């Protein structure tokens, strides 16, 4: 079992390195096309990107089973919202990896009759649903942490640092009854909420990294499904950023969002 865990971890690291290289090629290919590079060079970059994509699919063989095991563990979480978001996310990831395995078989020539376009669309739909669940989980955790931080600020003495975010400053503005005073009040409330959000994310780096990574990843299926055309440059940049953040969580496990 320990050997399998070590092997799985190594495969995951290699897959993320290949992913970073793939999206770097996508970004480079877009830059070369934009600056009028030779067609031969652009073709070589596209071929390298395709080879890296196929290699990633090979490294992801068997990931569906890992995603199902993660879903089984998530079912036992005590928080109902986290249990729902994480379980549904892992189930969609399992379906995404299953579609990805079918695509690999088709591109490798093992299943030449596979409709690759149809299976690619299916895989990106499951990928999109998984990311939506991940971002919903992030939003829920942010809301909980903001409520905790707001309550903690409200209990601090008025003269202490950070106490104005809790409610004393906002409460003072709430009592303003001058005509037209509602707009400045809303602006101040919005500023306080943004400052509170920044404080929460600054104090929880794993959550901040997860939000940025999932947001970057979201552009990929949106573009592939035609829901929001971003272009290869944006897709390559977002994929590269999210890949680097994923590698960072492997190098620094404390940056991984738990559970």
Higher pLDDT, 46 or 176: 46
- Indicate the pTM of the whole model: 0.86
Q: What is the pLDDT of residue 203?
A: 93
99 Cβ neighbours under 8 A, 6+ residues apart: 119, 120, 122, 123, 126
pLDDT of residue 153: 74
Query: What is the average per-residue pLDDT within 165-188?
Result: 59
Q: Compute the distance between CA of residue 88 and CA of residue 111 in angstroms, rounded to an integer.
A: 29
State percent of the chain over pLDDT 70.
86
pLDDT score, position 168 = 44
Q: How confident is the model at residue 83 (pLDDT cuts 50, 70, 90)?
A: very high
The mean pLDDT value of the chain amounts to: 87
Cα distances (Å, whole numbers) of residue 136 to 145, 150, 197, 207, 238: 14, 21, 16, 12, 19
When pLDDT is averaged across residues 36-55 and rounded to a whole number, the result is 92
pLDDT tens, residue by residue, 186-237: 888 889 899 999 999 999 999 999 999 999 999 999 999 999 999 899 999 9
Q: What is the pLDDT of residue 174?
A: 45
Structure tokens at 135: 């971002």
Biggest distance spanned by C-alpha atoms of the chain: 74
Please tell me the predicted confidence (pLDDT) of residue 6.
57
> Model confidence over 122-156: pLDDT tens digits?
999 999 999 999 999 999 999 999 999 888 876 76
């Amino acid at each position: 079992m320990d050997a399998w865990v070590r092997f799985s971890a190594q495969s995951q690291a290699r897959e993320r390195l290949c992913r970073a290289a793939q999206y770097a090629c996508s970004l480079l290919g877009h830059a070369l096309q934009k600056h009028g590079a030779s067609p031969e060079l652009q073709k070589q970059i596209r071929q390298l990107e395709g080879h890296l994509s196929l290699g990633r699919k090979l490294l992801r063989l068997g990931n569906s089973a890992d995603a199902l095991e993660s879903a089984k563990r998530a079912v036992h979480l005590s928080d109902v919202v986290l249990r729902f978001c994480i379980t549904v996310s892992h189930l969609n990831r399992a379906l995404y990896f299953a579609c990805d395995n079918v695509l690999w078989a088709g591109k490798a020539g093992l299943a030449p009759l596979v409709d690759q376009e149809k299976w690619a669309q299916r895989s990106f739909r499951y990928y999109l649903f998984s990311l939506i669940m991940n971002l919903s989980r992030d939003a829920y955790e942010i809301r909980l942490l903001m409520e905790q931080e707001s309550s903690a600020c409200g209990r601090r003495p008025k003269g202490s640092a950070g106490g104005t975010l809790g409610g004393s400053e906002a409460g003072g503005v709430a009592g303003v009854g001058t005509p037209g005073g509602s707009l400045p009040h809303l602006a101040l409330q919005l500023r306080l909420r943004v400052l509170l959000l920044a404080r929460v994310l600054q104090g929880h780096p794993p959550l901040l990294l997860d939000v940025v990574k999932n947001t970057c990843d979201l552009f990929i299926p949106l573009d592939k499904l035609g829901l929001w055309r971003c272009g290869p440059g944006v897709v390559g940049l977002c994929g590269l950023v999210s890949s680097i953040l994923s590698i960072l969580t492997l190098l620094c496990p404390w940056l991984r969002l738990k559970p």
